[in-house]
Amino acid sequence: DGGITQSPKYLFRKEGQNVTLSCEQNLNHDAMYWYRQDPGQGLRLIYYSQIVNDFQKGDIAEGYSVSREKKESFPLTVTSAQKNPTAFYLCASSVRVSGTEAFFGQGTRLTVV
Amino acid sequence: EDQVTQSPEALRLQEGESSSLNCSYTVSGLRGLFWYRQDPGKGPEFLFTLYSAGEEKEKERLKATLTKKESFLHITAPKPEDSATYLCAVHNAGGTSYGKLTFGQGTILTVHP
């Protein structure tokens, strides 16, 4: 089945640690996105990528980093510089960066302990 | 800056009571308006794409419409299983916002039997 796979579903991090969230898609989509969702707030864009080896900062990129070495993969690293990392993280992809619908994975819930 | 505002924030309906959700947007170059449904703890599920004013899309009890400034999601004779958060998003093709997918805060719909 085609789709977007995020792993792990739940992740616990100690303060001061970096963690990497995985996002893989087999839809052959060029564009990929990372969003953060907090209770009572909408989805906020962290990073997006239009093509392999290219990515742009979204609205809340501070404390996060990404890479796009393969078309299928767009991992997100939450660094120790992110002051409030506890949130629900969503990865999405679309055929191209403009004008086409995005499809989402099932999310990773990150908790700092 | 792109803006998407959804209203109301929450809507409670009785089963069979039809209503509408609103999505108002400000974007320099609209390349698509998207509706999603999100269940608690899950990723958003794609519903509709609208591209131009006057366009309408239907799926079961849902109908989405688009004008130059807003979109409506009409729900006809809703059932309890329609309870979810409905999200609206816009794709911008203009300037520094090219490629960004911007979401509204969502409307939480609860349908009582």
Lowest-confidence region among A82-91, B51-60, B89-98: B89-98
Place of tokens 């980093």: A65
Q: Is A2 on the interface with B (CB under 8 A)?
A: no
Q: Is A32 on the interface with B (CB under 8 A)?
A: no
Closest by Cβ to A98, choosing from B93, B105, B106 = B93
pLDDT at B66 over 70: yes
Smallest Cα distance from A98 to chain B, Å? 5
Residues of chain A with C-beta less than 8 angstroms from the C-beta of B3: none
Is B57 within 8 Å of B63 (Cβ atoms)? yes
CB contact under 8 A, A105 and B51: no
Q: What is the mean pLDDT of residues B34-44?
A: 96
Q: What is the pLDDT of residue B9?
A: 95
Q: Is A111 on the interface with B (CB under 8 A)?
A: no
Sign of torsion, CA A55 A57 A60 A62? positive
Q: Is A43 on the interface with B (CB under 8 A)?
A: yes
Q: What is the pLDDT of residue A20?
A: 96
pLDDT tens digits for range A32-64: 999 999 987 889 999 999 899 999 999 899 999
- Total Cβ atoms within 10 A of residue A90: 26
Q: Is A107 on the interface with B (CB under 8 A)?
A: yes
Smallest Cα distance from A106 to chain B, Å? 4
* B70 band by pLDDT with thresholds 50, 70 and 90: very high
Q: What is the mean pLDDT of residues A104-109?
A: 97
Separation between Cα atoms, residue A6 and residue B15, nearest integer Å: 35
pLDDT at A69 over 90: yes
Q: What is the pLDDT of residue B96?
A: 57
pLDDT at B8 over 90: yes
Q: What is the mean pLDDT of residues B51-75?
A: 96
A37: β partners: A43, A88
pLDDT at B105 over 90: yes
Chain B interface, best mutation among A43, A45, A74, by max B CB count within 10 A: A43
CB contact under 8 A, B99 and A50: yes
Q: What is the pLDDT of residue B57?
A: 97
Lowest-confidence region among A67-76, A95-104, B13-22, B81-90: A95-104
B57: β partners: B64
CB contact under 8 A, A98 and B98: yes
Q: What is the pLDDT of residue B100?
A: 75
Q: What is the pLDDT of residue B1?
A: 75
Separation between Cα atoms, residue A58 and residue A35, nearest integer Å: 9
What percent of chain B shows pLDDT beyond 70? Answer: 94
Q: What is the pLDDT of residue A42?
A: 85
* B89 band by pLDDT with thresholds 50, 70 and 90: very high
Is A92 within 8 Å of A105 (Cβ atoms)? yes
Q: What is the pLDDT of residue B2?
A: 81
B91: β partners: B101
Q: Is A97 on the interface with B (CB under 8 A)?
A: yes
Place of tokens 């070495």: A69
Pairing between strand A31-37 and A54-57? unpaired
From A102, A94, A91, A78, select the one nearest A31 (Cα to Cα): A94
Q: Could you write out the DSSP letters of every residue in chain B?
A: --EEEEE-SEEEEETT--EEEEEEEE-SSEEEEEEEEE-TTS--EEEEEE-STT-EEEETTEEEEE-SSEEEEEE-S--GGG-EEEEEEEEE-SGGGTT-EEE---EEEEEE-
Separation between Cα atoms, residue A94 and residue A101, nearest integer Å: 6
